Structure 1
């Protein structure tokens, strides 16, 4: 259906339309801690325990009464009688009185009666006694609940489960975590010329790189990629493949969305779907299409490898973040000093592949070279996109806006 289709949108207008159609997932599954890295938390989590669960020591040493040790010095050491040990996991069961000490090890609870700790390096052990060369203090005692308080919320719905957050959840007492089920993303490459890697390459053929680069981007963004078998350039073949795809949350197609006679994705959607927009004022990736087909959101990415990856980063990644309910921004931005010239497009915003690096002067960025959208190696050696507004080139020494590739800088 073309009735409501918009054309030649700005990047911001197109992204707004994509996100308006994205419906956050409601399906929650519980995963073991070790399987939850990179998932998105589906519910707020409160701590089930205090951490530490009791006042404990952050150093190896001796627990005692601070008042017994105030006069201790190298020239006037104080002697205390050692009445036991308190290793981590095996707390001392008695109570410390005047003139007494208990040997404690990092993480061990402070014995009842004690209010201070002396570090082992400031002591000298002599049989059942210990000499203190300086006063003991409470500074090395970690108080109960200093890190976590039982009943308080420390992880929020929409948080990405990084190793630190998974470790925090474990410390809070959780063996499994409620996470948003990963969206299933169908990936479909079109074109009679597309051949699977490993097969013999015919004259005029090209290996299917798009499906695999897009699958990696989907995984990195938190989705589950479903690489669909290649179809030929026919509307019937495309329709059959979509019907066989099963339950999907998003469909990515590469190729078939431009103006040519064989651009079958666009032609089928004109008949059977709803095209929300076609073409965005950007380079690379201008012939981007966004539609729905039987209620399924569909991003029709250009066929050129670089265009497909760049448009996924700018539109597909934010869409997946919204489906997952993630609270962190899908892309970060930096300011960097240009080390090389970057040429603008006269009428469209340009995204130039580049290498971003950190120096003592701050971030610096240089071009990867050839900016043709067919040069896939630029996405392998590069780690960022330099953003240039229409008609505004950048010269060496100028400050430019940069979007780092996720997970690189």
Structure 2
């Protein structure tokens, strides 16, 4: 077992546990939002499937309109119209025009379009107050070309990508199964919300914060409830959890007599590392139990959330083979001071904003027990060991994408 390792070493060891590949399942397009593609997608069609118009107006010969102006309009005979879905069947000849509407195919013979704002209709004729132009004609395959790949294996299906898959002709998509993530809370003092709160008790906020984090990262959260600080009950619950791709435990990984999760994993599993040089979240633990990776998160609410964001989220992204990064690092100007830790990398909660430049200010009290800071904040301020940041200095920030 390794102990007292750096944040970078811990992340490398966590990612190494994301082995194998999740099963693939096929789902209807309407159920695919938020899932991760399991194969590259080639377009089944050209889009548009023929030259069409990008504006409402009139299709005609460009040569007929070259001298058109408001002072000297060109007069063309309107021989029909071409709404989207009902293309004009004839051919446009010299001195003729066809009324076209956005998305409609360009009639045979026409090579230019003039937008309706630059025309004036007079019965069966139209006056062109400016020259027609080919710039508003979208060529066949301008958006999508049949046989080309536009979505990749590992792409998260966002609203735009879901619409793109539909435009490419797909009614069903192959996606990775969501990783099943068990969430187990420990501690005799932990009480479920809604129950009477005894003296010295705390409500089980960690389970629901982690549930949101897991779901936001593409996982399927499995709430395993709470167990008392008794090794046999902890092990019994862990072993009865069923198939999991990751197990999260909350609490019980520090050095106290009642921190039984660590003891259980040391005796019945295999501990990879314990304790990371970071604040908050120093007691973080990584283990294996019956082949399942276990992230032993600290019991303090902020420590639990920050640790999952830094390690659990990248694990789930890696397991799903996602093409987007789990988080991004930016640089912002500090509007308030941020105090670091002498021997550890510190992650402070901040409020990130943009006012001509990126700015970040503290959420206030940075204690790892102040869950309110994770509700107010939308970024982590990253401070190397021994570094404080003063007002006006530049600092690294990681946006919390589950807030932004």
Report the TM-score when normalising by structure 2: 0.98
CA distance in 2, matches of 1:11, 1:384: 18
Deviation at 1:35, TM superposition (A): 2.0
Give the secondary-structure state (helix, strand or coil) at the position aligned to 1:230: strand
Deviation at 1:112, TM superposition (A): 0.8
Q: How does 1:324-403 map to 2 (within 5 A)?
A: 324-360=320-356, 362-403=357-398
Change (3 A) 1:179 1:89: same
Tell me the alpha carbon deviations over residues 250-276 of structure 1, each in whole angstroms, 9 at most, x when there is no partner: 000000111112111111111111100
CA distance in 2, matches of 1:84, 1:297: 68
Equivalent of 1:205 in 178, 181, 201: 201
Give the secondary-structure state (helix, strand or coil) at the position aligned to 2:89: coil
Match of 1:300 in 2: 296
Alignment of 1:310 with 2:306, yes or no, is yes
Match of 1:215 in 2: 211
CA distance in 1, matches of 2:110, 2:398: 55
CA distance in 2, matches of 1:109, 1:350: 60
Change (3 A) 1:182 1:173: same
Alignment of 1:22 with 2:23, yes or no, is no
Match of 1:196 in 2: 192
Superposed CA RMSD in Å reads 1.1
Equivalent of 1:226 in 222, 225, 228: 222
Residues 24, 322 of structure 1: 8 Å contact kept = no
Match of 1:65 in 2: 61
Match of 1:93 in 2: 89
CA distance in 2, matches of 1:340, 1:99: 70
Match of 2:112 in 1: 116
Residues 273, 287 of structure 2: 8 Å contact kept = yes
Equivalent of 1:76 in 72, 79, 89: 72
CA distance in 2, matches of 1:132, 1:399: 57
Match of 1:251 in 2: 247
User: How many residues are paired up?
Assistant: 404
Match of 1:12 in 2: 8
CA distance in 2, matches of 1:387, 1:128: 70
Give the secondary-structure state (helix, strand or coil) at the position aligned to 2:196: coil
Moved over 6 A (4+): none
Give the secondary-structure state (helix, strand or coil) at the position aligned to 1:228: strand
Match of 2:399 in 1: 404
Deviation at 1:223, TM superposition (A): 0.5
Match of 2:283 in 1: 287
CA distance in 2, matches of 1:104, 1:359: 44
Deviation at 1:356, TM superposition (A): 1.2
CA distance in 2, matches of 1:70, 1:359: 47
CA distance in 2, matches of 1:106, 1:304: 57
Give the secondary-structure state (helix, strand or coil) at the position aligned to 2:135: coil
Give the secondary-structure state (helix, strand or coil) at the position aligned to 2:215: helix
Deviation at 1:72, TM superposition (A): 2.2
Residues 351, 362 of structure 2: 8 Å contact kept = yes
Match of 2:274 in 1: 278
Match of 2:142 in 1: 146
Residue ranges of structure 2 left out of the alignment (5+ in a row):
none
Moved more, 292-301 or 252-261: 252-261
Tell me the alpha carbon deviations over residues 198-244 of structure 1, each in whole angstroms, 9 at most, x when there is no partner: 00011111110000000000011110101112111111111211122
Moved more, 204-213 or 336-345: 336-345
Give the secondary-structure state (helix, strand or coil) at the position aligned to 2:367: coil
Deviation at 1:156, TM superposition (A): 0.5
Report the TM-score when normalising by structure 1: 0.97
Deviation at 1:24, TM superposition (A): 4.8
Alignment of 1:32 with 2:28, yes or no, is yes
Tell me the alpha carbon deviations over residues 349-376 of structure 1, each in whole angstroms, 9 at most, x when there is no partner: 111111111112x111111111111111
Moved more, 10-19 or 60-69: 60-69
Deviation at 1:25, TM superposition (A): 2.7
CA distance in 1, matches of 2:349, 2:221: 25
